[in-house]
Amino acid sequence: MKNITLKVNGKICELEVRDSELLIETLRERLGFLGTKYSCLEGDCGVCTVIVDGKNVLSCLMLSADCDGAEVLTIEGLGKDGEPHQLQKSFVEKGAVQCGFCTPGMILAAKALLDKNPDPTDKEIEKAIDGNLCRCTGYMKIVEAIKDASRKIKPNDQISISKR
Ligand code: FES
Ligand code: FES
């Protein structure tokens, strides 16, 4: 067992975790962030993607004990005061959400990209989401939505969100 401190969506969480406890378990089962989905638990599908210290990671492959002191962003931490983040708006507006199972991970992979590269090409977007599987949309609408968000996000939004 290990005592760790995480900052999740801006809130400090102190907890004791098992040595084998995965970050996805801590987020979903201990802290109640059910927007982080799980499926393969082997690093193959990307639905468990969250952002840790500014990088998108697969929370099914990460031990919570190794995240002590980390800042974690889950889908619940995007947007504020009931106002969806532009990526969430663009996904809905462009029809990039069908069953929605891949969507939280897809959006967080996109956010990690746009934080680093606010004006990505289609190829760069495709590369950024190539670890995130979608069984429904065929990806074109997802790429379109990310492109749309990149055009609409103002530089100040990027800065304030990435500092959360
Ligand atoms: S649950 Fe599939 S990559 Fe994590
Ligand atoms: S919208 Fe269903 S898996 Fe992507």
Identify the pLDDT of residue 5: 97
d(C-alpha 89, C-alpha 145), whole Å: 9
Q: Of 87, 67, 82, which Cα lies nearest the Cα of 27?
A: 67
Predicted local distance difference test score (pLDDT) of residue 160: 43
Question: What was the pLDDT predicted at 163?
Answer: 42
- Of 30, 45, 77, the position where a domain reaches its end is 77
Same domain, yes or no: 59 and 93: no
Query: Would you state the structure tokens that stand for residue 158, as one six-digit string?
Result: 């990027």
Query: What residue's CA is closest to ligand 2, atom 2?
Result: 99
| Alpha carbon separation from 163 to 73, 110, 116, 142, 154 (Å, rounded) | 11, 17, 13, 25, 15
- The pLDDT, as a whole number, for residue 162 is 44
99 CB under 6 A from ligand 2?
yes
Overall domain count for the chain:
2
Determine contact, residues 55/61, Cβ cutoff 8 Å.
Answer: no
Instruction: Check which CATH number belongs to the domain holding 72 and give it.
Output: 3.10.20.30
Residue 154 domain boundaries: 86-162
Same domain, 67 and 96: no
Final residue in a domain of this structure, among 59, 77, 95: 77
Q: Which residues contact 151 (CB under 8 A, 6 or more apart)?
A: none
Question: For a substitution probing ligand 2, which of 99, 108, 129 has the most ligand atoms within 8 Å of its CB?
Answer: 99
CA–CA separation, 1 vs 124, rounded Å? 40
Same domain, 109 and 67: no
CATH of the domain at 148: 1.10.150.120
| The pLDDT value given to residue 144 | 98
Q: Same domain for 94 and 158?
A: yes
The one-digit pLDDT tens for each residue of the chain (164 residues) are 999 999 999 999 999 999 999 999 999 999 999 999 999 999 999 999 999 999 999 999 999 999 999 999 999 999 887 899 999 999 999 999 999 999 999 999 999 999 999 999 999 999 999 999 999 999 999 999 999 999 999 765 554 444 43
Nearest to residue 63, comparing CAs of 78, 73, 52, 55? 52
**Cα(141) to centroid(ligand 1), Å:** 22
Q: Compute, in angstroms, the gap from residue 88 CA to the centroid of ligand 2.
A: 14
